[in-house]
Each structure stands twice: as C-alpha cells, then as structure tokens.
Structure 1
Amino acid sequence: MKVKKYTASSMPEAMKLVRGELGSDAVILNSRVVQTGGFMGFFKKNSIEVIAAIDPDTDISAKPAPMDSLPKFSRPATMGDGPKKDPPALQMKPITETPQNADKNLLKEISQLKELLKGSGKIEGVTLPGPVSMKIQYLSDQEIDQEIIGELTAVLLEKWYIGGAAANGDEINEWSAASIEQRLSPLNFGGVSFKKKFVNVIGPTGVGKTTTLAKIAADCVLKHQKKVAFITTDTYRIAAIEQLKTYAKILDVPIEVCYNMDDFKMATDKFSDFDLVFIDTAGRNFRNQKYVNDLKDVIDFGKDMETYLVLALTAKQKDMEEIRKQFSLIHIDKFIFTKLDETSVNGAMLNMAIKFSTGIAYLTNGQDVPDDLIEANPMLVANTILGVSTYE
C-alpha cells in the first residue's frame, strides 16, 4: 500500500490533492487540524493534514471522480489478513478547532510575543510586516530604548494581525502615538501647578535654565496674572545675573541675588506676599556630587517648592541619566526639555520619563520669551517623537 500525507488550507483542497495524485480509489486513513506558517512559532494558520493510501495495483491514471461526489473504496481499512470490510466513505477525526478558538489562540500567541519582546526589545531573525518594520526602524532612529521599542512592536503587531493588515502609514502612526500616550499617562505632566509658592529650576550648564525660567514667569504674569518675583543663586556668572535682571525689568518684577542660605531666607521672607517666586540656579557640572551639595547649601529645598530638572535634547542620554542620578537626594517634580528646535532625535525624553517615572512640564523650541515655551502632555510628547507636531 502506498501511503502519503497532504496538507492543505481546507478539506476540499486536501481531497483535490489526494484524488489528483492517488485517484478516486484512495483511502483516507486519518485527518487532523495542524498549524502552519507564521514566524518564530507565532501567528500560525490552521490547515488540514490528510493521510491517504492507495493499493499500488490500482490504476491511478483513471480520471478522478467529480469533487462533489464521495470516493468509492476498494481496499480494506486494515492491512491484516482478516475479512475485508468496506470502509466508511471518509475516515476522519473530528475538527475541534473553531474560529473562536483560533482567535483565542492568536491572542494567546500575541500575549506571549509581548512578554518575549519586553525582555530584549527584539527577536533575532523575525521579519516584521513592511509598514510595521518601517515604523520600528523610525523609532529606533529616534534612539528610543530597546525595551520600549519591544513593547511598541508587540502593540503594533497585535493591531496589524487582528484586522489591521491593510493599514497605511497614518494609521500605524496613530497606533504608535496612542501606545506612547498610554505608556506616559500615569506620570504627572503639565506646567506650573500653582499649588506651591516656589518654582525652582536646576540643571547643567548650557541647557538654557535662565531663559526657560523667564519664559515660565512671563507666562504666569501675562496669561495667569500672577504676582511673581525672581531669586537667583547663580553667582558664578555675572552675565547670568544681568540676564535675569533684564527679564525682571521687562516683566516689572523684583529680583534678589542670594550667595548663601541666609540670603535665601531673607529673600523668601521679603517675597512672602507674592503668588510665585522663581528661583534660578547656577549651571555646573552636576556629574560632580560636590556641586549638588553646593546647591543644598544655598537653597532650602524643604520649602513649599516645585523643582524642575532642565535637560537639553541635544545632550547624550547617558549624560542625562547620570545628572538625574546625582540629584537623587533632591525631589524632582518634572523634567523640562530644551532645544527641541536644535535636534530631530527626541526619543530621550520618552526614555527619561519612563526610566525615572517622572513627567514633563515643558518643552522649549527657541530663544524667544515667552513664545517658545510649550506645556507638555503625553500626546504632545508622542506626536513630537513621531514627527507629526508643528510649533508656531
């Protein structure tokens, strides 16, 4: 007896293969649902596997029976020496895989893929659908951490394989933005809360702290009609003091220069009846813990204070992380990211927010006071990273 195995997308297709090669006298010994295709064990499709047999003495050159008729069998169902019995028209195991079960299996495999991607951010040898692959490459070019890319990849694959396989670039962008927004939504975003009196900005040299502070103060004066004052502890650079005095004069608000903790306490007492007091600090190499300690010697961080860490998007993420860790003993309420207009790679702000569970207060995209200041929210950050935001 000649025995062969066939795999097809459906039972009629499998029968067509059997009859085409073995003829209408073939015996179906077994049939079952199997999974084929996919990649790395995921997203397989259900197929029918049929095992058929034919007596080698049978003339298989005869014309196959019509597809709508059942085959007639001349061979027994067994190969032993017992009495011959005509087999039933079709010997099959019942197909228990329903469309609902298939959907459940697909969702289970996607869930497993998500967990796998979370570990390394990628799976070697996996070929992603073209549009998804292009988006993942873009996110990689934005220097987003691999673990986050892994999570985004799993989300995009899930949407792609469950009804979205014809999606265009705009739809994939929307999926990506929604996923990033959801990832950031638990964090505290937005500008000055007006719940605390003191607003303090800290950060390394060259990130634009003084200009950013002036933008925030101007926004509070012009848009919210708040009574504000300035304190500067940046006594290392005369130019910085003069710069803030210029902004104070334009806004018609007072300013005090503090060299030590006693000066700081006197200044805060002087401004006790003001709505908001904005504190500027010296830009130093805060990778050196000494300079962080110097800040604590001048500023009373126990005050009713919101503290923003200002970082430039043109900096290396590794340096940003080191600076943030140096400020571990100071409570950082939110990040401010500057120089948005000077780079096209913005993934670091997503990485930093997630890594340190810290929201974002503002983005700045130029030197104009108070115009080039953007209050941040998760969707704005997502669209900025994806390159779909425009700023006037």
Structure 2
Amino acid sequence: MRLKTFVADSMTKAMDLVRREMGEDAIIVATHSAQNGRSVRLTAALEDDIGRDQQPAPASAADDEDDTDAPDAGTAIEQALAYHNVPLPLAARLVAAGARFASAGTVAALGGALDEAFTFQPIVERLQVRPLMLVGPPGAGKTIAAAKILTRARRSGRAVAAITADVKRAGGIEQLQAFTQILAVPFAPAGTAEELIAALPQKNGTLTIIDTAGTNPFAESEMNEMMELALAAGAEPVLVLPAGGDPGEAAEIGERFAAAGVRRLLATRLDVSRRLGGLLAVADAGQLAFADVSVNAEVASGLAPINPMSLARLLLPDFPANGSTPQSSEAS
C-alpha cells in the first residue's frame, strides 16, 4: 500500500491533488486541519498490489470528457442513486456530501461521499487471525464465496482449512468438499457447536473458513443457532448477501445480522445485478463495513476488494440523463 499526504487550503483542492497524482482508486484514510487552522492535510492510500483487472469495474472515460450536455456532479449522483433505488434519506446524505468534492469530478465526488458514509475493510487473508464464518440468507452465495476466499488465501501462501456447517441441505457438504479437494485443503463437516470446536485445526497460523447453512434473519431460533456456532468457533461472522435485492428488505436484514454480531458485508452477484441500492441500504442500516465483492462466477478470480472509488464507479455507469436503462462502462 502506498501512502501520501497532501496539504491544501481547502478539502476540494486537496481532493483535486489526490485525483491528479494518485488516480481515482486512491482511498482517503485520514483528514486533518493544520495547526494554523488555514489548511487541510489529507492522507490517501493506494493498493499497488491490486491490478486494474481485479477491480470490480473500470473507470468510465465519460468523467474526463468535455461534454457540455453532461449533468453536473450533483445532478449525476442524484440520478444514479435514484436509478439504483437508494433509500431517499441515504441518497440525500450522499448528494450533500458529494457536493463538497464536486470540483474533483463526478466519480471522485461520489467516492468522497461514500468514504464519509461507509467504512471499507477488505478481507486480507494473510492478516486475518480469527476464523471467518460466512453467514446469510439461503441462496446468498456463501459456499462459492468460501471457495473464492480459500483459493485466494492459498495463492497468497496462507495455510487454510475449510469447515461446513451446512450439513442438512442436500449437497451442502459435497459442494464445498469438491472445491477443497481441488485445492488440497483440509475439510470437515460440523453440524453442532461441539463438532465445530472439534473440527477446528490445531495448527497455529491456519486460517479457517466456515461455510454455514442459510439463515432466516427473521427466525429467532435460526439466528440463535448461527450465533452459537460463531461463539463456539471464536469466528468473525461475515454477512454474504447478493446484490439486486429490495432496499427496504435489505435494510431489515442488515439490522438483524448486525444485532447478531456481524460487522462486515461481502456482496455477491454484482455481475448479474443492475441496481445496487440494496447493498448501500444493508450497509447503512446495519452499520456494516464493505469487505469484498464477487464480480463473476470464476472461483479463481471472481473476488475483489472494494473501496469508495471502485464502489462509486459501480454506481456511476454511463447512462442517459433521463435515468433510463444504463449502459455498462465496461469495454465490449
């Protein structure tokens, strides 16, 4: 990670400097007022080891074109958030926050607003200490997400092990087991808290990924069972949720899982979803940090960290000013 500090006499000018020197992938990690009270010090970070081909979506060239017919940054952000069905109170906060960075361009303005509104904590396998337990409603994509994390961890050289608590669903054991056999990763099923404790690897330094059965967030017994498993394993529960859901429903899901101790969100199916308001709603309602996103079905390369700028690009594809069907910013 490359860090650089910029000093300017306003936040807008500091953001301009960041964009020019570090590009739109830079993450704002700290802002301070200088001791004299007449300038702003801003620290930005850039992940050098993450290639552009791993980003959830490429930047749109439209932001840098001189197009007199294009809407201003505030209008473009407002239109995009409306298209994605972002809840109105959250959309209003983002538009207001984006106005402070408007001179830096539309993507940078929305990125700055997202950076203020949300936290971003990617899963870094080489640094993860506690086991990761993937939880979420049925059909959210937890098993495939587990396989992607295992694959990425193996590539980084981390020792890993896999456990599935999804022992009742037909094929629940076999699906993850098939991936672990390909990766040559230790695997065990565990249907109870006692079995889960016994299945945890004894070797220090091994990262354990725990897949779970689908949990109905509105069923108290299922949520209690999930929390019991996480407590027994000493695991960090990470919510896995597909994009494209209803924002109101997503917000309630986020609140329920947050109350159960979940602090991070891993979003799936971004490649087949057009409206992402549900993801913003679940993170906002549950105060969940964005971790990673699943951007395609490929187990070997389909998981990527996300930051405010890459999320802004996902929300700001090239779409007509009237808010009709957006056009993908990806090159065809």
> What TM-score results when the alignment is normalised by the length of structure 1?
0.58
Where does residue 95 of structure 2 map in the other structure?
Answer: 153
Do the aligned partners of residues 357 and 289 (structure 1) sit closer, same or farther apart at CA in structure 2, a change above 3 Å counting?
same
Report whether the alignment pairs 1:259 with 2:191: yes
1:139 is aligned, of 81, 85, 100, to 81
Structure with higher Rg: it is 1
2:175 is aligned, of 243, 248, 253, to 243
Q: Which amino acid aligns with 1:182?
A: E
Q: Percent identity?
A: 24
Structure showing greater relative contact order (alpha-carbon pairs closer than 8 Å, 6 or more residues apart) = 2
CA distance in 1, matches of 2:144, 2:71: 44
CA distance in 1, matches of 2:99, 2:124: 38
Q: Which amino acid aligns with 2:296?
A: G
Where does residue 171 of structure 1 map in the other structure?
Answer: 105
CA distance in 1, matches of 2:204, 2:112: 43
Contact 1:338 1:363 in 2 (8 A): yes
Q: Which amino acid aligns with 2:96?
A: A
Where does residue 344 of structure 1 map in the other structure?
Answer: 274
Do the aligned partners of residues 347 and 230 (structure 1) sit closer, same or farther apart at CA in structure 2, a change above 3 Å counting?
same
Listed as ranges, the gaps of 5+ residues in structure 1 are 1-128, 165-169
Do the aligned partners of residues 261 and 303 (structure 1) sit closer, same or farther apart at CA in structure 2, a change above 3 Å counting?
closer
CA distance in 1, matches of 2:129, 2:98: 41
Where does residue 182 of structure 1 map in the other structure?
Answer: 116
SS of aligned partner of 1:238: coil
Contact 1:214 1:244 in 2 (8 A): yes
Aligned residues: 251
Q: Matches of residues 1-392 of structure 1 in structure 2 within 5 Å?
A: 131=72, 132-155=74-97, 171-184=105-118, 187-192=119-124, 194-222=127-155, 224-268=156-200, 270-297=201-228, 299-301=229-231, 303-387=233-317, 390=330
CA distance in 1, matches of 2:179, 2:85: 36
Contact 2:101 2:108 in 1 (8 A): no
RMSD in angstroms over aligned alpha carbons? 2.7
Q: Deviations over 1:4-37 (max 9, x none)?
A: xxxxxxxxxxxxxxxxxxxxxxxxxxxxxxxxxx
CA shift at 1:391, angstroms? 9.8
Do the aligned partners of residues 319 and 156 (structure 1) sit closer, same or farther apart at CA in structure 2, a change above 3 Å counting?
closer
CA distance in 2, matches of 1:362, 1:240: 23
CA distance in 1, matches of 2:242, 2:142: 10
Contact 1:289 1:326 in 2 (8 A): no
Contact 1:208 1:338 in 2 (8 A): yes
CA distance in 2, matches of 1:155, 1:253: 45
CA distance in 1, matches of 2:237, 2:135: 7
SS of aligned partner of 2:81: helix
CA shift at 1:156, angstroms? 5.5
CA distance in 1, matches of 2:202, 2:194: 14
SS of aligned partner of 2:158: coil
CA shift at 1:390, angstroms? 5.0
CA distance in 2, matches of 1:337, 1:346: 10
Contact 2:291 2:305 in 1 (8 A): yes
Where does residue 17 of structure 2 map in the other structure?
Answer: none
CA shift at 1:157, angstroms? 5.4
CA distance in 1, matches of 2:171, 2:232: 29
CA shift at 1:330, angstroms? 2.5
Do the aligned partners of residues 178 and 241 (structure 1) sit closer, same or farther apart at CA in structure 2, a change above 3 Å counting?
same
Do the aligned partners of residues 295 and 149 (structure 1) sit closer, same or farther apart at CA in structure 2, a change above 3 Å counting?
closer
CA distance in 2, matches of 1:347, 1:286: 20
Do the aligned partners of residues 289 and 216 (structure 1) sit closer, same or farther apart at CA in structure 2, a change above 3 Å counting?
same
